[in-house]
A and B are shown apart, each in its own frame.
Chain A
Amino acid sequence: MANDIWALAELTDGRLAGISLQLASKAAELARDLGGQSAAVALGTNTQAAAGELGSCGVSAVYASEGAVYDQYLGQPQSEALAGLIQKHQPRLVLIGGTNYGRDIAGRLAARLGAGLVYHVGEVAVEGGQVVMSVPAFGGAQAVKEAFTGAGTGLLLARPNAFATQRVGGTPAITQEPAPAAPGTGARLTGTAGAEGAAEAGHLGKAPNGDDIWLPAATQSKLEEAQIVVSGGRGLGGPQGFAQIEALASALGASVGASRAAVDAGWIPYAHQVGQTGKTVKPTVYIACGISGAVQHKAGMGTAGLIIAVNKDKDAPIFSFCDLGVVADLNVVIPRLTELVKQRKAGA
């Protein structure tokens, strides 16, 4: 029991977030290395379907607490349910996503249990029977190794995409436990921003002629899971620059990312932000257009397979950590590249 490793699934309105599978995969791997059992915890609605998905990533058990209360109240019922379950079964380690969902629960849980909490974790391994976590510092220039001090359950907040999803297959033992928790003292969800909010997520701003510029639905989602990401920064010069980025992304079958500078300027919504305070991506190829490459941006994309940078400033820091650096004018290179990619795909 003392070597059991758990993963907290992220369920929202019955939908399982992709990071849940990354955490379940890593929990299964660590439990094997430690000689313990792996389990996932799913709190919310549609937990049965979620349990099947989690089991396919190798966890041997799933604790399912089916209840709408988790979709209706923020933080408190989740931490209440999880705290009770941890105190009863005493796992060695609980893996939680470093997302807004995960951080709200982990903070409450750590305070309630007095548990050790290591956040921003990029790697975790068993070394000499000890769980050792690696946390990137200074934009990834250093790796800090950390361990827990006490013997109690440790909490680990993982960076999104730090761990790979591994569909090793398996059918988990599902336990309907615990009973849904009480709502708490009342941070209550009253709705989504609805159609208005959904539309806003793809709205790039106004073109010079006053028309609204929209991202096509296909390039809006799954930035974290994309194999190719095309990102734009301050060098684009305005929201209309993202139309070029979107055209290239569309030709490549890529997702659109952005630097904080572009998001802060209001050229593209926050959902596209890559970096320390945005999303962490790990695509096969990352194409940075007009992005200088501050350490905060690097923290969100520094582990990409290949990095291609296009910037007219030859002294931009991004040229110090790319595989191909192109010092040129975006307005010439990006439309031309889009044409070439289209021709290549049409000919292939």
Chain B
Amino acid sequence: MKIVVCMKETLDTTKEKRFGPDMRLERPKENAIINPFDEYTIEEGLRQQEKHGGEVIVLCMGPATATDTIRRALAMGADRGVLVTDPALGGSDAVGTARVLAAALTRIGYDLAIFGSAAADAYGGVVPAAVAELLGAPLLSWAGKLDVDGGTARIQRQADIGTQTAEAPLPALVSVVKAINDPRYPSMKGIMQSKKKPVDTMTLADLGLAAGQAGADGAGERVLGATAVSMQRKGEMYLGNEGAAQRILDFLIEQKVL
């Protein structure tokens, strides 16, 4: 089975983030990590490979330096990487990103393409559906459990109203939520091996896309500006167990909640 796991490079969530003068998030290389949601994506690809054989390919769109982040996914056990990188890709929106990933998936070929539920820098959670639409493919979304049997993928799905079951014929796209597995840590052997695994790069031209189909020029949205939000709160503090419950009760009464 040919399994493609889609991965984004995001920023360490514990580090402070800020916008650059172009109103894009500044992305210092030293803070780059595998999007935390995509650790589950990679893990699920590896688990499906353990059951069904085949290869696991990591697909990433990002800056040229993202090869280092791809190698961390290869250290977990994936077989090879594909990085789509091009100066014209900066500022891509969700649809632009989806056009790139759909074109790359078409070139790579896949039985199963796995996505995380969102990226930890934007939280859009719309790219898997956009890619599926462009490929005319089924998307099994928000999967908390995935089983592949013959030519059919079956999931348990975290819907807004509870858990559902769903299935689709392969080739199919699946987006996974964190409940699906516990991602492994790379082993020392895995880290050593990852250095020799191939990472191919592709440009927009390689994918047959024009500059206006992705990147800032192709975006359907623009940022007008950003302002700091002041969230003034009363900030009263109470220290110690003694009388604390009474103070909370009195506060609720003062605020006319009780």
The chain A residues found within 8 Å of chain B, CB to CB, are: 10, 12, 15, 17, 74-76, 79, 99-101, 103-112, 114-120, 132, 136-138, 140-150, 154, 157, 184-193, 197-198, 200-201, 228, 264, 270-271, 276-277, 284-285, 287, 296, 302, 306-308, 310, 314, 319-329, 332-334, 336-337, 339-341, 344-345
Contacts and interface: CB of A to CB of B under 8 A. Distances in A.
A101 B159 contact: yes
Q: Which of A104, A150, A284, A287: most chain B CB closer than 10 A?
A: A104
B249 interface: yes
Interface string B218-239: 0111111111110101111111
A306 B160 CA distance: 26
Q: Which of A132, A192, A198: most chain B CB closer than 10 A?
A: A192
Given A101-B159, A326-B244, A107 B129 contact: yes
B238 A324 contact: yes
Contact of B130 (A15, A107, A200): A107
Contacts, number: 266
Given A74-B138, A327-B238, A192 B123 contact: no
23 contacts: A74-B138, A74-B166, A103-B129, A104-B139, A107-B125, A110-B220, A111-B99, A120-B123, A143-B227, A147-B224, A148-B222, A157-B124, A187-B140, A192-B162, A193-B162, A197-B162, A285-B255, A322-B233, A324-B234, A326-B247, A327-B240, A329-B241, A344-B249
Please report whether the interface of chain A is mostly helix, strand, loop or mixed according to DSSP. Answer: mixed
Nearest to B234: A323
Contacts of A320: 235
Contact of B255 (A115, A120, A271, A306): A306
Contacts of A117: 93-95, 124, 126, 220-221
A185 B138 contact: yes
A337 B249 contact: yes
A119 B97 CA distance: 15
Contacts of A329: 241
Nearest to B37: A277
Interface in B111-170: 117-118, 122-134, 136-142, 154, 156, 158-169
Contacts of B162: 192-193, 197-198, 201, 271
B11 to A, nearest CB: 11
Contact of B219 (A99, A149, A154, A326): A149
A320 B95 CA distance: 38
Contacts of B164: 189, 191-193
B205 interface: no
- Which 3 pairs show the lowest CB-CB distances between chains A and B? A116-B220, A107-B129, A107-B126
Interface residues of B, number: 82
Contact of B94 (A105, A107, A285, A325): A107
Nearest to B173: A187
B235 A341 contact: no
Contacts of A106: 126, 129
Given A187-B168, A302-B231, A322-B235, 9 more contacts: A115-B95, A119-B94, A119-B126, A148-B222, A277-B118, A325-B238, A326-B248, A328-B244, A334-B245
A111 B98 contact: yes
A287 to B, nearest CB: 8
Contacts of B244: 310, 326, 328, 332-333, 336
Contact of B231 (A140, A187, A287): A140
Given A264-B178, A321-B233, A308 B126 contact: no
Interface string B166-204: 111100100001110000000000000000000000000
A86 B119 CA distance: 29
A340 B168 contact: no
B70 to A, nearest CB: 24
Given A193-B165, A333-B244, A110 B229 contact: no
A221 to B, nearest CB: 10
A270 B221 CA distance: 32
Contact of A108 (B13, B133, B238): B133
B252 interface: yes
B169 A146 contact: no
Q: Which of B128, B161, B169, B240: most chain A CB closer than 10 A?
A: B161
A188 B166 contact: yes
A107 B94 CA distance: 8
Given A108-B129, A186-B169, A314-B239, A296 B160 contact: no
Contacts of A100: 125, 141-142, 158-160
A198 B229 CA distance: 40
A339 B117 CA distance: 41
A76 to B, nearest CB: 7
A314 B239 CA distance: 9
Contacts of A271: 162
Contacts of B219: 116, 149
Contact of B165 (A103, A186, A189, A276): A189
A154 B226 contact: no
B248 A147 contact: no
